[in-house]
Amino acid sequence: MPYTDSVLPEPTEPERERAEAVAAVLHERMADAGGAIPFDQFMRIALYEPGLGYYVSGREVLGRGGDFVTAPELTPFFGYTVAGQVVDLLARAGGGDVLEAGAGSGALAIQLLAELERLGSLPERYRILEVSPDLRDRQRRTIERALPHLLERVEWLDDFPAEVWDGVVVANELLDSLPVHRVRLTETGVDELYVTPEDGGFQWQQGSVSDPIIADRLGLGASLPSGMETEVGLEAPAWAARAGETLRLGGVLFLDYGHPAAELYHPDRYHGTLMCHYRHRAHNDPFFLPGVQDITAHVDFSAVATAARAAGLEVAGFAGQAQFLVNLGLTYRVEEYLAAGGVSDEEQFQLATALKQLTLPHGMGETFKALLLTRGVEGPFPGFRQGDRAGVL
Ligand SMILES: C[S@@+](CC[C@H](N)C(=O)[O-])C[C@H]1O[C@@H](n2cnc3c(N)ncnc32)[C@H](O)[C@@H]1O
């Protein structure tokens, strides 16, 4: 695997201390496990270990002051546009709640709430399922600052509702942050890459797969070249199925980077899709500063669709993010805003740059996808009016 040759910024002293504390936990778990752990366990500890992991440690991770920028952080027009699909689903379900999972800084929440209010389609409740206590606080502050009159509609959940409900689940860039196994193709099948300690840091150790499903997911017999390394996420499909478990009428909308299995597990991605972010530098060394950098992998949308179907959901739409946003009228929404006047040259320039990033194939336009799972509601759904590729999943 070609690790980064770019020079990464020097961590601050507290960041270095945090990484050492997380590394100590990782070393302890490896010792408990007899020397090595599968990469999904490494990723779970690095990102989510209570009080220490990347998403739960209180360090600013999202936005310009953090490590990476997501679509709703780029421009509010992302959320304003996605709201079109949310309104449509609420109407088809005859009303209900919006449940946003993994709400980050709260940026998408205020965009959706503002647009739903503008369109006269506010749900009774806007529920947020968020694992990070710090991000929950940040979300509350964001909503309180931007839309104080709507705060009383917002509530935070620890898990999906146990009772049956109607409405819409929305999750942007959540599935890609769920832990994945890392594997290497061999002449005869597939091995798993475990993580083991080395000189205070970590190294890979090749062994047999920890779960036979991992090999099944790669479709053995497919012609992947020996030596190829890639990732298999078992959590994302299970999580997607759970997201719709108690939903009676409505949809689950995922926006994330990923591909159908045939494109993800393709010789073109010989080194897999593991990606790390630290202060706006993208690189592929997951052992760098554990707990202080983000680790992600592209989503296998075929596996998500299969798990969703098995849970009784319908795969109602699948499209590139650019197509999805254009279908929902992104261009018109922006034109309408500009035509109202009073937009400075600088803001126009920033908006144009953000829109390019959202829609260009090498930005978020093609690598990012929108996937809609539904139960009990009929399409056609406006976000997938053109360019729907649900049939490939
Ligand atoms: C990459 S961030 C995306 C944040 C936001 N959706 C955005 O687009 O800016 C991932 C978010 O998912 C949350 N998260 C991760 N795993 C989760 C889980 N199992 N349940 C709920 N939230 C989760 C993280 O704490 C974080 O808020």
Q: What is the DSSP string of 291-334?
A: TTSEEE--EEHHHHHHHHHHTT-EEEEEEEHHHHHHHTTHHHHH
Choose the weakest-confidence range: 46-55, 295-304, 309-318. Answer: 46-55
Checking if the pLDDT of 80 tops 80, the result is: yes
- Give distance in angstroms: CA of 25 to centre of ligand 1: 22
Selected residue with higher pLDDT from 2 and 37: 37
Q: Is the CB of 108 under 6 A from ligand 1?
A: yes
pLDDT digit string (tens) for 343-358?
899 999 999 998 988 8
Could you tell me the pLDDT band of residue 49, with boundaries at 50, 70 and 90? Answer: very high
> Mutation test of ligand 1: which of 143, 177, 254, 257 has the most ligand atoms closer than 8 Å to its C-beta?
177
Using an 8 Å Cβ cutoff, are 265 and 219 in contact?
yes
Choose the weakest-confidence range: 64-73, 98-107, 229-238. Answer: 64-73
Segment 74-94 mean pLDDT: 97
Q: Is the CB of 79 under 6 A from ligand 1?
A: no
Long-range contacts of 155-161 (CB under 8 A, 24+ apart): 155/125, 155/126, 155/127, 155/128, 156/127, 156/128, 156/129, 156/130, 157/99, 157/127, 157/128, 157/129, 158/129, 159/129, 160/99, 160/129, 160/242, 160/243, 160/245, 160/246, 161/99, 161/127, 161/246
Residue 221 has a pLDDT of 47
Q: What percent of the chain has pLDDT over 90?
A: 80
- Give distance in angstroms: CA of 175 to centre of ligand 1: 8
Residue 220 has a pLDDT of 55
Segment 374-381 mean pLDDT: 97
Checking if the pLDDT of 166 tops 50, the result is: yes
**Helix (H/G/I), strand (E/B), else coil: 218:** coil
Residue closest via CA to ligand 1's atom 10 equals 174
Could you tell me the pLDDT band of residue 3, with boundaries at 50, 70 and 90? Answer: very low
pLDDT digit string (tens) for 253-286?
999 999 999 999 999 999 999 999 888 888 989 9
Q: Domains in the chain, start-ordered, CATH in brackets? A: 13-392 (3.40.50.12710)
Q: Is the CB of 209 under 6 A from ligand 1?
A: no
- Give distance in angstroms: CA of 189 to centre of ligand 1: 34
Q: Is the CB of 295 under 6 A from ligand 1?
A: no
Instruction: Give the relative orientation of helices 133-146 and 107-118 as an angle to the nearest 10 degrees.
Output: 40
Segment 42-51 mean pLDDT: 95
Segment 126-151 mean pLDDT: 96
- Give distance in angstroms: CA of 176 to centre of ligand 1: 9
Residue closest via CA to ligand 1's atom 2 equals 104
Checking if the pLDDT of 5 tops 80, the result is: no
Residue 67 has a pLDDT of 72
- Give distance in angstroms: CA of 102 to centre of ligand 1: 3
- Give distance in angstroms: CA of 34 to centre of ligand 1: 31
- Residue 171 CA, closest ligand 1 atom number: 6
Residue closest via CA to ligand 1's atom 14 equals 102
- Give distance in angstroms: CA of 382 to centre of ligand 1: 26
Could you tell me the pLDDT band of residue 83, with boundaries at 50, 70 and 90? Answer: very high
Cα distances (Å, whole numbers) of residue 26 to 61, 130, 196, 360 = 21, 24, 9, 39
- Give distance in angstroms: CA of 173 to centre of ligand 1: 7
Checking if the pLDDT of 110 tops 90, the result is: yes
Residue 194 has a pLDDT of 98
Q: What percent of the chain has pLDDT over 70?
A: 96
Q: Is the CB of 170 under 6 A from ligand 1?
A: no
pLDDT digit string (tens) for 199-241?
889 999 999 999 999 999 987 546 899 999 999 999 999 999 9
Size of the chain in residues: 393
Segment 276-303 mean pLDDT: 92
- Residue 178 CA, closest ligand 1 atom number: 16
- Give distance in angstroms: CA of 344 to centre of ligand 1: 33
Q: What is the pTM of this model?
A: 0.95
Q: Is the CB of 109 under 6 A from ligand 1?
A: no
Residue 363 has a pLDDT of 73
Residue closest via CA to ligand 1's atom 19 equals 131
Closest residue by Cα to residue 52 from 11, 20, 13, 27? 20
- Token representation of residue 226: 């020996």
